């Protein structure tokens, strides 16, 4: 089928979003391609459609397990065979998934960069008919970027195994220097293409408010801007506190962070997507991969670590093209807090070695072992056992990750799975001699098709309910069947995974590239300076963000807090009442757009008019209609047909 036919059959769309077709055509034409599409621009379709249009399998490299799992789930729902391989999976599961890519019908294979370069995977890739190598979140390959991940640097090694396979790299956030770096590190060939959509979001009003009372301001914003919203907070404890505060103010809210169980996260996320919950208060663990177009506001309660991260998170508002708000609440203490956090992010090498040594003891791992091994990891328990401050342990692990010694994934739910290892006849004989297992075995075979030939996911909660036994008893029975070699049972997981990328060495022999360490430290500080500048300087917010991403736009956006005049000189009292009465006369009979209203005044008065409109909206003299026009609202005791006397 042609790309447009695939789009309509599997996604139900009759046309592509801007640039999607050109990117797809470039990849299918065999050109190495880099695509910069902003958040919500439909990056994944750009490699998923070539995967289906061309014979063979597409390999997708992604750094986020949750995102990989979500994409595979969505593809499978559409009837597209896709699999993901990541830390925490059982060896036999990985083996079966790779076999299906060689001999089966799998069309998309999702891999973390660490798994991509393992010997097992590389040997199997040699046998696959690969049609495309897709690199998601491609900015992770650049040391100039905000989320550098050293394992990405090894992706180019796979090109040697696939010399004629084109590469498609996609990202939502990359400066000019990062875009150049991506192409160099992925060894783009002469036949290459670069596509970039504008970073400008004309429907998104960027607002920075210097507020001491942030919590009250948050409530005020969410009461005025109706509809779905996200509030980002820096830590887990704060998400619950803020959600509870919103509920006390009669705003439908919930909280989300990576420390919740899979079931809790799924339930909260589903309620928010279906608009049963209006506001989700979350850490930055929330939002990636969620396709919700009608988010009206995104509020940040703290300064972000980088403008790249802020742009991506703020960009989750207004994907449907309607007027939306990205609000950053800032106070003087924030800069001090973020500076301290930066200083703590780079512990001394002596401290990093102590943490590395403790990892060996924690997992009882001998020197020379461990390479490729993944373990459940609880940071709090680890820090407590070895008497580390949690922040020191976390940042030491992050440096070890940047140096390529380990990988530490986010918390991710891996459901229980099983495969029957014996023949039907042997299974029947086991049932006869073990009557207590008869109902369990029959239920599994009836409910989960294909258990003789492959691993099947099982829902332990539903299964235990159906059988009328508690979850602990079911778990023991499944483990017993595993011990008897009747099934291969893989229990569920819902914890972060720590993966050793190199064999363990003695702590004194563990080396850190200090040039790279200092380079990353300096780059981090440069990004923080840009965040401070964005929060404090009096310029059009949209222009500042565009300039950061090397996009020039001489025209101010007209809708950010700066353009609307919050920071202009104060109006005189006479000015305020004069303009207020004039605005009322102009719109009392018929609502108008903001542009139409502004055009009624000469250019020298427009900045003052914007300030008055902003004040009148804040104080509910004006309201916005559903079609984004401005109407006179009036207030109790305010005679809209009578000129206002300022003495009142």
Q: 43 and 114 share a domain? A: yes
Contact in structure between 106 and 57 (CB atoms under 8 Å):
yes
Is 450 within the bounds of a domain?
A: yes
Give the distance from CA 126 to its chain's centroid.
32
Residues 124-134 have a mean pLDDT of 95
Least confident of 77-91, 210-224, 628-642: 628-642
Residue span of the structural domain in which 247 resides: 204-330
| Residue 22 pLDDT > 50 | yes
> For residue range 586-610, what is the model confidence (pLDDT) as tens digits?
888 888 988 888 888 766 677 778 8
Please report, for the domain that includes residue 296, its CATH number: 3.40.50.300
For residues 274 and 272, give the distance between their C-alpha atoms in angstroms, rounded to a whole number: 5
Q: 160 and 300 share a domain? A: no
For residues 9 and 5, give the distance between their C-alpha atoms in angstroms, rounded to a whole number: 6
For residues 633 and 532, give the distance between their C-alpha atoms in angstroms, rounded to a whole number: 37
Confidence of residue 642 (pLDDT cuts 50, 70, 90): very low
Least confident of 12-26, 32-46, 566-580: 566-580
Q: 76 and 112 share a domain? A: yes
Is 295 within the bounds of a domain?
A: yes
> For residue range 299-308, what is the model confidence (pLDDT) as tens digits?
999 999 999 9
The residue ranking higher by pLDDT, 168 or 613, is 168
Distances (CA, A) of 138 to 172, 228, 339: 9, 30, 28
Q: 453 and 514 share a domain? A: no
Q: Choose the final residue of a domain: 490, 514, 545.
A: 490
Q: Choose the final residue of a domain: 196, 215, 236.
A: 196
Least confident of 248-252, 315-319, 426-430, 552-556: 552-556
Question: What average pLDDT does the chain have?
Answer: 88
Q: What is the pLDDT of residue 603?
A: 62
The residue ranking higher by pLDDT, 247 or 538, is 247
Helix (H) or strand (E) holding 57: strand 57-61
Quote the percentage of the chain above a pLDDT of 70. Answer: 94
| Residue 230 pLDDT > 90 | yes
Confidence of residue 118 (pLDDT cuts 50, 70, 90): confident
Strand partners, 231: 281, 299
Contact in structure between 56 and 129 (CB atoms under 8 Å):
yes
Is 427 within the bounds of a domain?
A: yes
Please report, for the domain that includes residue 433, its CATH number: 1.10.10
Q: 463 and 579 share a domain? A: no
Secondary structure of residue 275 in the 3-state scheme: coil
The DSSP annotation for 79-100 comes to T--EEEE-TT--HHHHHHHHHH
| Residue 639 pLDDT > 50 | no
Q: 234 and 276 share a domain? A: yes
DSSP assignment letter at 191: S
| Residue 317 pLDDT > 70 | yes
Is 482 within the bounds of a domain?
A: yes
Residues 94-114 have a mean pLDDT of 91
Confidence of residue 359 (pLDDT cuts 50, 70, 90): very high
Q: 510 and 475 share a domain? A: no
Q: E strands within 389-532?
A: 406-408, 417-420, 456-457, 487-490, 497-500
Is 484 within the bounds of a domain?
A: yes
What is the spatial order of strands in the sheet that 324-330 belongs to?
204-210, 324-330, 295-300, 228-232, 279-282, 253-256
For residues 316 and 304, give the distance between their C-alpha atoms in angstroms, rounded to a whole number: 15
Contact in structure between 625 and 591 (CB atoms under 8 Å):
yes
Residues 50-63 have a mean pLDDT of 95
Q: What is the pLDDT of residue 641?
A: 29
DSSP assignment letter at 414: B
Distances (CA, A) of 396 to 389, 543, 588: 11, 37, 62
What is the spatial order of strands in the sheet that 497-500 belongs to?
374-376, 497-500, 406-408
Is 372 within the bounds of a domain?
A: yes
Quote the percentage of the chain above a pLDDT of 90. Answer: 48
Torsion of the alpha carbons at 422, 428, 429 and 434, rounded to the nearest 10: 100
Q: What is the pLDDT of residue 637?
A: 38
Q: 391 and 428 share a domain? A: no
What's the structural domain count of the chain? 5
Q: What is the pLDDT of residue 239?
A: 96
Distances (CA, A) of 51 to 58, 163, 348, 522: 5, 18, 46, 40
Secondary structure of residue 547 in the 3-state scheme: helix
| Residue 377 pLDDT > 80 | yes
Q: 512 and 477 share a domain? A: no
Note the residue count of the chain. 648
Q: 240 and 382 share a domain? A: no
Is 311 within the bounds of a domain?
A: yes
Q: 96 and 189 share a domain? A: yes
> For residue range 391-403, what is the model confidence (pLDDT) as tens digits?
899 999 989 988 8
HSE-up (13 A, CA, CB side) for residue 167: 25
Q: What is the pLDDT of residue 648?
A: 38
Secondary structure of residue 592 in the 3-state scheme: strand
Q: 353 and 254 share a domain? A: no
Is 648 within the bounds of a domain?
A: no
Contact in structure between 87 and 375 (CB atoms under 8 Å):
no
Distances (CA, A) of 289 to 310, 316, 430: 16, 10, 45
Q: Choose the final residue of a domain: 143, 169, 196.
A: 196
> For residue range 460-504, what is the model confidence (pLDDT) as tens digits?
888 888 888 888 899 899 999 999 899 988 888 777 888 898 899
| Residue 636 pLDDT > 50 | no
Which of 264, 336, 320, 308 has its CA nearest to residue 137? 308
Q: What is the pLDDT of residue 570?
A: 57
């Amino acid at each position: 089928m042609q790309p447009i036919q695939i789009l309509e059959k599997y996604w139900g769309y009759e046309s592509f979003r801007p640039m999607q077709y050109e990117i797809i055509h470039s990849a299918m034409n065999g050109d190495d391609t880099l695509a910069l599409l902003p958040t919500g621009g439909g990056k994944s379709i750009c490699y998923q459609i070539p995967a289906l249009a061309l014979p063979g399998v597409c390999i997708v490299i992604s750094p986020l397990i949750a995102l990989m799992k979500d994409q595979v789930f969505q593809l499978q729902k559409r009837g597209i065979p896709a699999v993901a391989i990541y830390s925490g999976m059982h060896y036999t599961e990985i083996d079966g998934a790779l076999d299906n890519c060689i001999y089966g019908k799998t069309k998309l294979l999702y891999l973390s960069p660490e798994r991509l370069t393992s010997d097992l995977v590389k040997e199997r890739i040699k046998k696959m008919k690969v049609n495309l190598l897709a690199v998601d979140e491609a900015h992770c390959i650049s040391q100039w970027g905000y989320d550098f991940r050293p394992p990405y640097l090894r992706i180019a090694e796979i090109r040697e195994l696939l010399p004629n396979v084109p590469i498609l790299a996609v990202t939502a956030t990359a400066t000019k220097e990062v875009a150049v770096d991506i192409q160099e590190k992925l060894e783009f060939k002469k036949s290459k293409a670069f596509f970039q959509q504008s970073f400008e979001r004309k429907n998104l009003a960027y607002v920075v408010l210097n507020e001491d009372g942030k919590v009250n301001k948050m409530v005020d914003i969410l009461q005025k801007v109706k509809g779905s919203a996200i509030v980002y907070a820096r830590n887990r404890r704060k998400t619950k506190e803020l959600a509870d505060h919103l509920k006390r103010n009669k705003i439908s809210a919930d909280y989300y962070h990576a420390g919740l169980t899979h079931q809790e996260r799924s339930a909260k996320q589903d309620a928010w997507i279906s608009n049963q919950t209006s506001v989700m208060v979350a850490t930055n663990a929330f939002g990636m991969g969620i396709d919700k177009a009608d988010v009206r506001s995104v509020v940040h309660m703290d300064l972000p670590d980088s403008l790249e991260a802020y742009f991506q998170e703020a960009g989750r508002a207004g994907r449907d093209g309607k007027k939306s708000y990205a609000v950053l609440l800032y106070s003087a203490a924030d800069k001090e807090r973020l500076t301290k956090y930066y200083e703590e992010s780079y512990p001394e090498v002596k401290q990093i070695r102590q943490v590395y040594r403790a990892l060996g003891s924690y997992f009882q791992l001998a020197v020379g072992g461990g390479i490729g091994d993944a373990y459940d990891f609880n940071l709090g328990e680890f820090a407590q056992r070895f008497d580390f401050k949690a922040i020191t342990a976390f940042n030491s692990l992050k440096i070890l990750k940047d140096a390529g010694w380990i990988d530490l994934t986010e918390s991710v739910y891996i459901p229980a799975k099983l495969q029957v290892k014996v023949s039907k006849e042997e299974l029947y004989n086991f049932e006869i001699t073990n009557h207590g297992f008869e109902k369990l075995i029959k239920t599994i075979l009836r409910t989960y098709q294909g258990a003789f030939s492959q691993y099947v996911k099982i829902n332990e909660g539903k299964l235990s309910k159906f059988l009328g036994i508690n979850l602990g008893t079911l778990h023991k029975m499944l483990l017993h069947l595993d011990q008897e070699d009747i099934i291969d049972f893989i229990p569920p997981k819902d914890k972060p995974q720590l993966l050793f990328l190199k064999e363990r060495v003695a702590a004194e022999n563990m080396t850190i590239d200090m040039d790279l360490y200092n380079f990353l430290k300096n780059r981090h500080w440069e990004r923080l300076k840009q965040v401070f500048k964005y929060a404090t300087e009096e310029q059009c917010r949209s222009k500042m963000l565009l300039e950061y991403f090397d996009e020039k736009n001489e025209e101010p956006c007209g809708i950010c807090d700066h353009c609307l005049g919050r920071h202009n000189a104060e109006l005189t009292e006479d000015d305020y009442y004069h303009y207020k009465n004039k605005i009322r006369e102009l719109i009392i009979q018929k609502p108008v757009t903001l542009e139409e209203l502004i055009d009624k005044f000469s250019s020298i008065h427009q900045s003052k008019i914007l300030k008055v409109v902003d004040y009148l909206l804040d104080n509910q003299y004006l309201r916005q209609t559903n079609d984004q026009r401005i109407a006179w609202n009036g207030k109790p005791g305010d005679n809209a047909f009578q000129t206002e006397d300022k003495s009142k």
